Amino acid sequence: MLQQDILNLTRKQFAQWLNDRGIAPYRADQVFKWIFLRQADSFGEMTDISKQVRGMLADHFTIGRLKTAGTRRSSDGTVKYLFELSDREHIESVLIPEDDHYTLCISTQVGCAQGCAFCLTAGIGFKRNLTTAEITAQIRDVKKDLGDKGKLTNIVLMGMGEPLANYKNVINSLATITDGDYGLQFSTRKVTLSTSGLVPMLERLGHDTTINLAVSLNATENRTRDILMPINRKFPIESLLDACRRYPLSNRRKITFEYILIKGVNDSVEDAKRLARLLRPIKSKINLIPFNEHQGCGFRRPAKERIELFREILQKQGYTVITRLSKGADISAACGQLAANIKNYNEKGQSPVIQEGVSSAQRADADERFQ
């Protein structure tokens, strides 16, 4: 009999599966409680369910775990996990320590098709979407590994891949992640999805979930964003911001606009003033991310003074601005540095290797834009 990973189902879907077979749907609550709250790895552990039902469940389902192929710990306490999937592909997740809790950055695809010029994951290319089970398992497995060493309260879908390009599986995983009764029990206010700007799916997202939205903007005019983020050629800044204006938000929520500051590319005074004008009609806050340098990319981080000036201009315009100094750079776990390179996990230490120059394609684009 062909078995499927039960983590691919939401609790509602599993309850329907049980009901179709004459089993009381409330058994889904019990099973999910065992899996997500008690970290059960077999149906045999579920002692409040009859032996007959447990046997039937074992015939039809597995309870999946990801294989931890490696971990790396940063000097700042960040932990990067390398997970091996059933087809021998690999993804990375990053556990980030905060003052009194942890945030987990999870992946939604193996590789990525968006081709952003500043992102190391783009070099992998797109291999496949993660299943609902593979998305959910990253959280379940890290929670088990963390144990009582700290509280995991925040989830960000900002790892490898574009979440909105794997829409169905992401939405199903979010149902379990934010299931406050028997799932992973994360508040929707503590879960954030970051997108490069797939406008049609963005319009659906606001009606299908109430989690936080972050939009990776990174430029204030189309010519630069076309170079940095090829998705802009299909969905330019005007259409993206129009979708953001129409995005349903509760009274107290705002869209976070992520802006990676790159020296000489998008960090000018004019860019800061233009950004302030662009976002004026939108309930928004701004997350400035100084570029995290990595191997094979010729982009550079701006000077500290330039970053501060950019922030001050936005703050004077009334925006809430956070300058995010990404953690885990010494293990290539910072924003834009995920690549699931197995070799890196066999080394005791790895600082990002910065190479002068960029690829020929990047150089051609940059030359055309910045001459």
Final residue before a domain boundary, out of 62, 84, 103: 62
Q: What is the CATH number of the domain that holds 273?
A: 3.20.20.70
Looking at the chain, the whole-number percentage of residues with pLDDT higher than 90 is 82
Tokens 């000036």 belong to residue? 309
Considering 105, 119, 297, 335, which one is annotated as catalytic?
335
pLDDT tens digits, one per residue of 63-103: 999 999 999 999 999 999 999 999 999 999 999 999 899 99
* Average pLDDT of the chain to the nearest whole number: 91
pLDDT at position 330 is: 77
Tell me, yes or no, whether 47 and 131 share the same domain: no
Q: Are strands 90-97 and 4-5 parallel, antiparallel or unpaired?
A: unpaired
| The 3-state secondary structure of the chain, one letter per residue | CCCEEHHHCCHHHHHHHHHHCCCCCCHHHHHHHHHHHCCCCCHHHCCCCCHHHHHHHHHHEECCCCEEEEEEECCCCCEEEEEECCCCCEEEEEEEECCCCEEEECCCEEECCCCCCCCHHHHHCEEEECCHHHHHHHHHHHHHHHCCCCCEEEEEECCCCCHHHHHHHHHHHHHHHCCCCCCCCCCHHHEEEEECCCHHHHHHHHHHCCCEEEEECCCCCHHHHHHHCHHHHCCCHHHHHHHHHCCCCCCCCCEEEEEEECCCCCCCHHHHHHHHHHCCCCCEEEEEEECCCCCCCCCCCCCHHHHHHHHHHHHHCCCCEEECCCCCHHHCCCCCCCCCCHHHHHCCCCCCCCCCCCCHHHHHHHHHHHC
Tell me, yes or no, whether 246 and 267 share the same domain: yes
Tell me, yes or no, whether 125 and 210 share the same domain: yes
pLDDT at position 319 is: 98
Tell me, yes or no, whether 95 and 39 share the same domain: no
Tell me, yes or no, whether 44 and 107 share the same domain: no
pLDDT tens digits, one per residue of 273-308: 999 999 999 999 999 999 988 777 889 999 999 999
Considering 92, 134, 162, 293, which one is annotated as catalytic?
92
> Is 92 one of the catalytic residues?
yes
Final residue before a domain boundary, out of 44, 62, 80: 62
pLDDT at 122 over 70: yes
pLDDT at position 333 is: 66
- Model confidence band, residue 344 (pLDDT cutoffs 50, 70, 90): confident
pLDDT at 313 over 50: yes
pLDDT tens digits, one per residue of 44-62: 999 999 999 999 999 999 9
pTM, 2 dp: 0.91
Tell me, yes or no, whether 48 and 83 share the same domain: no
Final residue before a domain boundary, out of 62, 80, 98: 62
Tell me, yes or no, whether 91 and 196 share the same domain: yes
Tell me, yes or no, whether 54 and 198 share the same domain: no
pLDDT at 337 over 80: no
In Å, what is the CA distance from 203 to each residue of 130, 164, 172? 22, 10, 17
CA pair distance 212, 241, nearest whole angstrom: 16
pLDDT at position 93 is: 97
Tell me, yes or no, whether 222 and 281 share the same domain: yes
- Model confidence band, residue 108 (pLDDT cutoffs 50, 70, 90): very high
Tell me, yes or no, whether 34 and 80 share the same domain: no
pLDDT tens digits, one per residue of 12-28: 999 999 999 999 999 99
Q: How many domains does the chain have?
A: 2
| The 3-state secondary structure of 32-92, one letter per residue | HHHHHHCCCCCHHHCCCCCHHHHHHHHHHEECCCCEEEEEEECCCCCEEEEEECCCCCEEE
Tell me, yes or no, whether 197 and 287 share the same domain: yes
Tell me, yes or no, whether 58 and 71 share the same domain: no
Residues of the domain holding 259: 67-370
> Is 335 one of the catalytic residues?
yes
Q: Which amino acid, one-letter code, is at 340?
A: A
CA pair distance 101, 155, nearest whole angstrom: 11
